[in-house]
Copies of this chain bind each other. A is one copy, B any other.
Amino acid sequence: MDINETIRTQLAHRTIREFKDQKIPREIFELLMEVARRTATSTGMQACSIIHVTDPEIKSRIAEVCKQEYGARVPELLIFIVDQYRNDQIAKEKGCFVETARDMDRFFAAFTDACIMAQNVVIAAESMGLGTVYLGSILNDSEKICELLKLPELTFPVIGLGLGYPNQNPQLKPRMEMRLRVFENTYTVFENYLDEIKEYDEEMRTYYDLREPGRPVDSFSNQVVVRLKQYNPKRQEILNVIRKQGFDLMIK
């Protein structure tokens, strides 16, 4: 089957953590923002925004939150945010003071918008030879990110994205078979997951062995255990910060 350029780019996706010391030309950056603009958006409301972090001081403070030093070195850093502030202001200027701008439905619609916009930018960037790294780690301390970026009420950081020209060419990371992730009509529960992922576990061990020979290699299932044991109250208690930013959790 003939695979087009777009899909070829998508199938070749790797996270890039080392970038060349080369700025992204302004016209390319603007094209990325135009792609962002054209992204699908829930009920047309366009309730997400982007903070383009260029100040090295703010960048390095974000990298501290992320606990990923390369965060400070990414040539371009974007933070995608939930933004119900703008539409709430528009409504108020029209004399409409409704509380529904604060509900979690609006929050999730905007959160979804922000994620799909980020991925749209990722693909556009990769199609032009740029490398990307998602920084989910901004949520290590979402309150600090709100403070650094001076996010007003009804906004919230969703995900960070580093962009630049790649200075590494990492291998594709093995992924679980899709028969374990795509189900027809109803969710499929497997009897024994370790059996099902046996080959994948092995593939991951080989991948790590090749990537960093000599280092203890790890299977996927071991990584799952390690990850699930990780404990960070600030991440876990994210809803408290969301409420602080003005959203009404509406818990019964």
Contacts and interface: CB of A to CB of B under 8 A. Distances in A.
Contact of A83 (B36, B109, B181): B181
A129 to B, nearest CB: 10
Contacts of A27: 1
Dominant secondary structure at the A interface? helix
A44 interface: yes
Nearest to A43: B227
A170 B186 CA distance: 33
Nearest to A237: B250
A72 to B, nearest CB: 14
Interface size grouping (class) on chain A: 35 or more
Nearest to A101: B228
Interface string A100-114: 110111101101100
Best-buried of A48, A89, A132, A155 by chain B (most CB within 10 Å)? A89
B152 A100 contact: no
Given A34-B178, A46-B181, A124-B6, A240 B251 contact: yes
Given A83-B181, A112-B136, A115-B112, A1 B31 contact: yes
A185 B136 contact: no
23 contacts: A3-B31, A4-B127, A5-B6, A15-B40, A36-B182, A37-B176, A37-B181, A46-B181, A48-B181, A54-B185, A90-B197, A93-B194, A94-B221, A94-B224, A98-B228, A105-B236, A108-B238, A111-B115, A115-B116, A116-B118, A116-B122, A149-B187, A239-B250
A194 B96 contact: no
A55 to B, nearest CB: 5
A27 to B, nearest CB: 5
Contacts of A63: none
A170 to B, nearest CB: 13
Interface in A113-168: 115-116, 118-120, 122-124, 127-128, 132, 134, 136, 139, 148-152, 155, 158-159
Interface string A186-222: 1101101110010000000000000000000000111
Given A6-B6, A186-B149, A13 B39 contact: yes
Nearest to A232: B105
A51 B46 CA distance: 27
A50 interface: yes
A65 interface: no
